[in-house]
Structure 1
Amino acid sequence: MRPLAGREELDLFSRLPYTLNEELAGDLDTGRRRASWMWVALRGDRLVARAAWWGRPSDDAPSFLDVFDIDDTEPDRVAVGVRLLQAAMPETLQAGTTPPEYVRFIPPDWREDATSQKVVQDRMTALEQVGARLFVERLRLEWRPGTPVPEPDGRLNFRAVRDTEEILDLMTRTLDGTLDAHSRDDLTRVPAREAAQRHHDDELARYTSPKDWWRIATLPSGEPVGFVVPARNDYNPIIAYIGVLPGHRGNGYIDDILAEGTRVLAVQDVPRIRAATDVGNVPMAKAFQRAGYVNYERQITMTWS
């Protein structure tokens, strides 16, 4: 059980398959990953398990654990996974802090496929044995070029965000009645305004894509009804945030707002647009489906208390 000696061991680390393998080299080059955050369990020269954390280049500690794999031919694979995590976590994470969340991308039909179900459950069992618990399951969605985008029907007008205060005010107001698990958890800890500020500062403000892509949706009178934040993260064009103000929910405005966000990105000639929403956020999931977004993966998130 040890961390990688350096970038030269990336081929060793990549012997176990996962969708993020193709991003590892670029992440190492940019500092989003570090060799000391990438651990392997070896039986002789055979890779039997691995774990890796991801973080922002400027941060001293990782933001989340997003690679955790075990060789499925291992008869004691859960125990091997537990031993790797027990060895790696004290050396990788800051002492006395809560471990960052675990994120795993899984097939959309993982519950119906016996092999996929076993893979997911083995990893979850190992993580549970080191103190993690299931927090939320999310749909990962993708819009592909050629998918029709409805033209504006005139019910809403769209304009750019005037300033940070305006978007923070709208974010704060949309937290009332939110179905998003992370937002609901935030609201058990801090007031809505502080939760909105943290989300803005920790995520939205960090995107290097143009802020004039962000859109406020208004009635013809100018009254705001919601907003959407189209952006580009380190990997893909995304719908980063979308919301309808509580007093305007139930009128179908989410479809118009999502269509506007999709249009903003589609005209950039992008190869895809990614988005995500909680399985339990049924209204948002249905809106993405109506807009032609395909559920190509799911995501399991586990947290430590």
Structure 2
Amino acid sequence: MSTSHDTVTIRPITGPDEIPLFNRLPYTINHELDDDLADKRRRPEWMWVAVRGDRLLARVAWWGRSGDDTPLLLDILDVDDTAEDLTEVAQALYETAAKQVLAPGAVPPEYGRFIPADWREDPDAYRAVRLRIGVLENTGAHLTVERLRLEWNPAAGVPTPDRRLAFRPVGDTDELIALMTRTLDGTLDAHSRGDLAQMSPHEAAVKHYEQEFATYSSPREWWRIGTLGEDGEPVGFVVPARNAYHPVIAYLGVVPEHRGRGYVDGLLAEGTRILAEEDVPRIRAATDLGNAPMANAFARAGYVNFERAINMAW
């Protein structure tokens, strides 16, 4: 299907052969799109362009877990930032594509975008970010959170372990969900707080486990529970893993009664150690801009804030 908007053609790409066209607009994940299509995390009918003649003006794309029938995230919305104001074109592109990609009446998937760490200080980056936010605000979306994207590399060294803690692999799924349920008490994470406004802590923990932890192909044996000495009570847990793109610290939580004692550093050190022993070139992580305790823990462990991300929801 294609439609015209003031001589602009809006249509999905035809297949992998049009990735070079789609990638004429720069973005940090362009190099992943070929593999995403091959591994069915994307589909051509989820990737749309707005063109005038042979010039790419704007593009939009959704992402899902491998083989999903419906997308989980809107993660690409771009315009030619060197051109005239293309706000109207981008909005027409999004609205046209969304009508075809999303089920009628469904709440659109969340929007997520990676942005420069200094985007507020860089006038060009600020203008580009604000344009994309504005396009989606015009469709009813609102900004929910800004997050720090973090990276550790071997040159930073493995953080010093906390000798107060012992570690053991996670037992069964119920044990992990029970611990996660406890760590959600007082959480500073915006997504978790959003879940808790709609469901119980246990339900939120189950949702997170099923939508994220259960999808990892990396060994479950990497997941660790930190305890006060051998056979002591748990203070928290850490989930080192590999997602489809990078080794990651997927989750880290300290139970409420043990917060404020620095155990977060030991949990993060253990998760980093496990991945470092796999000779990984980097480890990625993320935390909300407003979660200063977690951001500070990552900084102490040698993780660098190389980028940020924004999320919007309808």
Instruction: Tell me if TM exceeds 0.5.
Output: yes
Which one of the candidate residues 164, 168, 175 is aligned to 1:159?
A: 168
5 Å matches for 1:20-169? 20-169=29-178
**Aligned twin of 2:307:** 297
TM-score by length of 1: 0.98
The structural deviation recorded for 1:153 is 3.8
Give the aligned residue type for 1:177. G
Q: Distance in 2 between matches of 1:153 and 1:260?
A: 9
Residue 78 of structure 1: CA displacement? 1.0
Give the partner amino acid of 1:2. Answer: R
The offset of 1:72, in angstroms, is 1.4
Q: 1:171 aligns with which of 174, 180, 191?
A: 180
What does residue 18 of structure 2 align with? 9
| C-alpha displacement of 1:76 | 2.8
Structure 2 counterparts to residues 273-292 of structure 1, below 5 A: 273-292=283-302
CA distance in 1, matches of 2:226, 2:162: 13
Q: Is the 8 A contact 2:162 2:263 kept in 1?
A: no
Segments of 5+ residues of structure 1 without an aligned counterpart are none
Match of 2:251 among 234, 241, 254: 241
Q: Give the TM-score normalised by structure 2.
A: 0.95
Contact 2:159 2:272 in 1 (8 A): no
RMSD: 0.8
- Displacement of 1:125 in angstroms is 0.5
Q: Which stretches in structure 2 are left out of the alignment for 5+ residues?
A: 1-9
Instruction: Give the 3-state SS of the residue equivalent to 2:154 in structure 1.
Output: coil
**Partner SS, residue 170 of structure 1:** helix
Of 253, 265, 268, 2:278 maps to: 268
Per-residue Cα deviation, 1:103-158 (whole angstroms, up to 9, x for no partner): 10000000011110001001111111111110100000000112122332420001
CA drift at 1:261? 0.3
Could you tell me the percent identity over the aligned residues?
Answer: 61
Paired with 1:174 and 1:204, the residues of 2 have a C-alpha distance of 16
Give the Cα–Cα distance (whole angstroms) in 2 for the partners of residues 150 and 13 of structure 1: 41
What's the CA shift string for 1:6-46, capped at 9, x where partnerless?
A: 11111111100001110000000010010000000001110
1:18 aligns with 2:20: no
Q: Distance in 2 between matches of 1:63 and 1:202?
A: 10
Secondary structure at 2:155's aligned position in 1? coil
Pairing partner for 1:232 from 239, 242, 249 = 242
Divergent runs of 4+, >3 A = none
Which letter does structure 2 place at the counterpart of 1:98?
V
The 2-side partners of 1:55 and 1:138 are apart by: 20
Size of the aligned set, in residue pairs, is: 304
- Secondary structure at the counterpart of residue 273 of structure 2: helix
Q: How many Å separate the matches in 1 of 2:159 and 2:35?
A: 36
Measure the CA separation in 1 of the matches of 2:160 and 2:293. 21
Separation of aligned partners in 2, 1:203 and 1:186 = 14
Please identify, of 214-223 and 34-43, the stretch whose mean Cα deviation from structure 2 is larger. Answer: 214-223
| Whole-angstrom CA distance in 2 between matches of 1:146 and 1:13 | 36
Q: 1: distance between equivalents of 2:82 and 2:50?
A: 14
